[in-house]
Amino acid sequence: MDKTTYKNVVFILVDDLGWKDLACYGSSFYETPNIDKLAAQSNLFTNAYSPNPVCSPTRAAIMTGKYPTRVGITDWIPGYESKDAILKTPEDLYELPLEEVTFAEVLKEADYKTFFAGKWHLGDTGFFPEDQGFDINKGGHHMGQPPGGYYSPYKNPKLSDGPKGEYLTDRLTNESMAFLEENKDNPFLLYLSYYTVHGPIQASKKHIAKFQEKKQILKDSVALLKKEGTGQTVINQYNTSYASMLYALDENVGRLLEKLETLDLMKNTLIVFTSDNGGLTTLVAHRTAPTSVRPLRAGKGWAYEGGIRIPLLIKKPGQKQGNRIDAPVISMDMFPTILDELDLPLQSNLHQDGVSLSSLLDGKENNVHESLFWDYPHYHGSGWTPGQAVRKGDWKLIYFYENDLYELYNLKEDISEENNLADSQPEKLEELKEELKHYNEILEAPKPTRN
């Protein structure tokens, strides 16, 4: 097949990568030169969101183009059990149903070779990546974190151990590069779902010294904390181990991009780089989180901006010039965007809640969503209690079930969500309540009940 007649997809998903964890998004402590270079040739989204503040629901949404509520996965699998909780939370699926059609299955049908490496977390045996459209699976199984940590032996049923001390992030990249080498002449989907920077926070031994040295000149070299509900949020980037993990991630993204260049695949490969939820900044029980995404409020587990606003870079085949896009977009948009960019027909019966971002990428439109919705009716170890949120224009409403409480924020004027306008803007409050009600009705969202 002539290389110029088809396009490939490289989809890089980083676990728990916060909105402010990359230098190109404003971090001054962490260093990500290769990702920054990619950003300089990509469309960088400033208002990209995950549809849920934890991993499994977002992963299901990316795969299906549907809101997690529609799929039936609204918590990480198997979820957080809150003892003595006021509310009994809805039952949740423990796997992505096989009836769901993933974008990998659609591409496979179109004769794409499909490859998965890394974290899956969408079901156990019978529901692995190879059951959901991927020809090859390296390391994807039911667990949400690397069972043996980041150094071999991995204790991963889907990944053979490397030499003792091999680093998992390196290994997943090596597997991906080998796949590229073997499939450079076929259309392919490479889905690289790094386990990093999810816990356990284990330093990259190769890079830790660099950041220990850098930390000595930080103004605030210990974690500074701010109260958030029953938890506490870290408000500065201070953690050298986390910084070294990000630097190792960046090094590996650089290796992968270099491989694409060497194989002359850049001109016909669509690259997507994103995260599954906000950074881990907020925890209960006197535990200190590893990162900060200030000025955003809270982090993973919360429907405040820190928990749901994520980095997103999309580089069109052959794109050389960077571009910044401020329109709000969400993870379900990836499915139709990929089809659109590959010149494959859209399938709106499948990706029901996603819209193609091609018009944004081409500068033909400056907005594609009237509103966005978040449904997280569960408790979380960050101190979040069951709730929901909706964003419409610059306005955002958050609802907490326990005390039937609404909070209203204007994100344009108050990105940190510090000024609750629910009392002073009654008309706007009603408008967004209606929007929330609309989503609950069309998605038939299950509600928590009194315990």
Q: What is the pLDDT of residues 1-33, one digit of tens each?
A: 444 578 999 999 999 999 999 999 999 999 999
Q: How far apart are CA 94 and CA 117, in angstroms?
A: 21
Q: How far apart are CA 99 and CA 66, in angstroms?
A: 13
- Which residue, among 316, 243, 329, has the nearest Cα to 20 in the 3D structure? 243
pLDDT number for residue 217: 86
Q: Roughly what angle, to the nearest 10 degrees, separates helices 240-262 and 208-215?
A: 130
- Which residue, among 330, 332, 360, has the nearest Cα to 348 in the 3D structure? 332
Q: How far apart are CA 330 and CA 356, in angstroms?
A: 11
Kindly give the pairing relationship between strand 269-275 and strand 8-14: parallel
CB 198 within 8 A of CB 121: no
Q: How many residues does the chain have?
A: 451
Q: Please, how many CA atoms are within 13 Å of residue 285, restricted to the half-sphere of its CB?
A: 3
Q: Where are the alpha helices (DSSP H) in 40-189?
A: 55-64, 68-71, 103-109, 168-183
Q: How far apart are CA 99 and CA 29, in angstroms?
A: 44
Task: For residue 102, give the DSSP letter.
Answer: P
- Residues forming beta bridges with residue 128, ordered by sequence position: none
CB 96 within 8 A of CB 124: no
Residue type, 150: Y
Grouping H, G, I as helix, E, B as strand and the rest as coil, residue 235 is: coil
- Residues forming beta bridges with residue 234, ordered by sequence position: 225
- Residues forming beta bridges with residue 269, ordered by sequence position: 8
Grouping H, G, I as helix, E, B as strand and the rest as coil, residue 215 is: helix
Cα–Cα separations (whole angstroms), residue 71 to 249, 314, 335, 353, 357 = 30, 25, 15, 11, 22
Q: Which two tokens stand for residue 109?
A: 């049908």
pLDDT number for residue 2: 47
Where do we find the tokens 């193609």?
A: 356
Q: How far apart are CA 19 and CA 223, in angstroms?
A: 18
Task: For residue 245, give the DSSP letter.
Answer: H
> Between vectors from CA 172 to CA 75 and to CA 280, what angle results, nearest 5°?
35
Domain 3-368 has CATH 3.40.50.720: no
- pTM of the complete model: 0.98
Domain limits of the chain?
Answer: 3-368
pLDDT number for residue 392: 98
Q: What is the pLDDT of residues 303-355, one digit of tens each?
A: 999 999 999 999 999 999 999 999 999 999 999 999 999 999 999 999 999 99
Q: What is the pLDDT of residues 358-367, one digit of tens each?
A: 999 999 999 9
Cα–Cα separations (whole angstroms), residue 412 to 291, 388, 409, 419 = 24, 20, 9, 12
pLDDT number for residue 57: 98
Q: How far apart are CA 244 and CA 169, in angstroms?
A: 12
CB 208 within 8 A of CB 241: yes
Q: How far apart are CA 404 and CA 402, in angstroms?
A: 6
Residue type, 4: T
pLDDT number for residue 13: 99
Q: How far apart are CA 314 and CA 331, in angstroms?
A: 12
Mean pLDDT per 10-residue interval, the chain, length 451 residues: 74 98 97 98 98 98 98 96 88 97 98 98 98 98 97 98 96 98 97 98 97 90 93 96 98 98 97 98 93 98 98 97 98 98 97 98 96 98 97 98 98 98 98 98 96 87
Task: Name the helix (H) or strand (E) containing 338.
Answer: helix 334-341
Burial class of 2 by CB neighbour count within 10 A (0 to 12, 13 to 18, 19+): exposed
Q: What is the largest CA-CA distance in the chain?
A: 63
